[in-house]
């Protein structure tokens, strides 16, 4: 055998084995340069006996792709754990709050209204709120003869579930227990405005206003492409604008009306000045709804719906 033939045979037997990694073999990780503009997979061509090329993937490129896949998988796993972790924790806390809620309902049915109120208050102190929670708490305070706290929590429930019929009935009953019933608006337009604002929760009005604004933007964008070829589109645009003004303006007005509202927890004197020796202006009844105007230390300046204002101790009222 000639020397050149022997060399060719050696290359044929051992050259191709060097192009692949045996199964189960864990080679050493080698650094691979990162060059922008190159493909993600690298193909080398080595001469084969008899002509042609053999595509081969170097071990460093193979290891780099596995390493990159591992990093991506780890990043995805961390993101999933980051997102699911708080949800799992919230589910655990929510199950505990549901247990407290059930205990409060059981205590209420057994006539232990103070224990029921304590269970509901514990849920609220943990950061959980809902319309039914405030509703049950208010019912417990009505049964326990705490009219101020009952009306306070009925008002809070009305902000979350304003159209609930049981809430309306129980709130009306609590209002009837007041020594001086709260005066209602007699002007027609005031009645319409009050009815409109009280029909929706703050979140509902915000969603409606946002949807109308998005719809208005879509109509305007469509008009830029197709123009106003008929009056129907103009009327549609005008109708959406009117609805947006009604709900957007109602949203802003509702925010202003609900801001700094409070309820008197006990019967307390409203004074002309923020000091104990000041003259009493009027007597603020338990459960009276007021608006906080100013604060001076432990004193709050409040405004009543009949137009009277005065200074009361901050501990005697609570914000809705």
Encode pLDDT of 184-206 as tens digits.
Answer: 666 788 888 888 888 999 999 99
Which residue(s) pair with 46 in the sheet? 54
How far, in Å, CA of 45 to CA of 55, rounded? 5
Return the pLDDT at 251. 92
Q: Residue 146: pLDDT band by 50, 70, 90 thresholds?
A: very high
| pLDDT above 90 (res 262) | yes
Return the pLDDT at 191. 84
How far, in Å, CA of 14 to CA of 237, rounded? 79
Give this prediction's pTM. 0.68
Return the pLDDT at 5. 52
| pLDDT above 70 (res 33) | no
Return the pLDDT at 69. 54
Mean pLDDT of 57-74: 47
Mean pLDDT of 197-225: 87
Q: Residue 218: pLDDT band by 50, 70, 90 thresholds?
A: confident
| pLDDT above 60 (res 310) | yes
| C-alpha closest to that of 212 among 220, 202, 201, 200 | 220
Return the pLDDT at 51. 37
| pLDDT above 50 (res 228) | yes
Tokens, residue 303: 């405004």
Taking the alpha carbons of 24, 27, 32, 38 in that order, is the dihedral positive or negative?
A: negative
Comparison of pLDDT for 43 and 165, the residue scoring more: 165
| pLDDT above 80 (res 8) | no
Report CA Rg, the chain: 37
SS3 letters across the chain: CCHHHHHHHHHHHHCHHHHCCCCCCCCCCCCCCCCCCCCCCCCEEEECCCCCEEEECCHHHHHHHHHHHHHHHHHHHHHHHHHHHHHHHHHHHHHHHHHHHHHHHHHHHCCCHHHHHHHHHHHHHCCCCCHHHHHHHHHHHHHCCCHHHHHHHHHHHHCCCCCCHHHHHHHHHHHHCCCCCCCCCCCHHHHHHHHHHHHCCHHHHHHHHHHHHHHHHHHHHHHHHHCCCCHHHHHHHHHHHHHHHHHHHHHHHHHHHHCCEEEECCCEEEECCCCCCCCEEEEECCCCEEEEEEEECCEEEEEECCCCEEEEEHHHEEEC
Return the pLDDT at 34. 34
Q: Work out the number of other CB atoms within 10 angstroms of the CB of residue 60.
A: 16
Mean pLDDT of the chain: 76
Tokens, residue 212: 């109308």
Q: How many residues does the chain have?
A: 320
Q: Residue 20: pLDDT band by 50, 70, 90 thresholds?
A: very low
Q: Residue 52: pLDDT band by 50, 70, 90 thresholds?
A: very low
Return the pLDDT at 305. 85
> What percent of the chain has pLDDT above 70?
67
Comparison of pLDDT for 19 and 288, the residue scoring more: 288
Return the pLDDT at 107. 92
| pLDDT above 70 (res 81) | no
Return the pLDDT at 31. 38
* Burial status of residue 190 (CB atoms within 10 A of its CB: 0-12, 13-18, 19 or more): exposed
């Amino acid at each position: 055998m000639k020397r050149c033939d022997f060399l060719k045979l050696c290359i044929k037997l051992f050259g191709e084995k060097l192009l692949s990694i045996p199964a189960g073999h864990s080679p050493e990780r080698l650094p691979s340069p990162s060059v922008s503009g190159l493909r993600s997979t690298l193909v080398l061509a080595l001469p084969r006996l008899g002509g042609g090329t053999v595509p081969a993937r170097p071990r460093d490129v193979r290891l780099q792709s596995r390493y990159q896949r591992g990093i991506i998988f780890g990043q995805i796993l961390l993101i999933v754990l980051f997102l699911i972790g708080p949800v799992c924790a919230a589910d655990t806390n929510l199950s505990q709050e549901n247990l407290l809620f059930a205990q409060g309902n059981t205590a209420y049915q057994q006539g232990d209204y103070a224990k029921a109120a304590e269970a509901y208050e514990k849920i609220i102190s943990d950061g959980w709120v809902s319309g039914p929670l405030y509703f049950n708490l208010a019912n417990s305070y009505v049964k326990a003869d705490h009219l101020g706290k009952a009306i306070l929590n009925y008002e809070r429930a009305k902000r979350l579930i304003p159209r609930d019929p049981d809430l309306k009935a129980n709130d009306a009953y609590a209002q009837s227990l007041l020594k001086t019933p709260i005066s209602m608006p007699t002007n027609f337009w005031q009645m319409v405005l009050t009815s409109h604002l009280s029909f929706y929760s703050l979140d509902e009005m915000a969603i409606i206003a946002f949807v109308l604004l998005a719809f208005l933007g879509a109509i305007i964008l469509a008009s830029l492409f197709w123009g106003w070829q008929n009056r129907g589109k103009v009327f549609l645009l005008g109708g959406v604008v009117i609805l947006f003004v009604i709900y957007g303006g109602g949203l802003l007005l509702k925010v202003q009306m609900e801001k700094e509202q409070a309820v008197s927890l006990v019967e307390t004197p409203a004074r002309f000045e923020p000091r104990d020796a000041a003259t009493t202006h009027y007597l603020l009844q338990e459960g009276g709804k007021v608006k906080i105007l100013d604060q001076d230390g432990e004193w709050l300046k409040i405004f009543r719906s009949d137009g009277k204002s005065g200074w009361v101790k901050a501990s005697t009222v609570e914000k809705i």
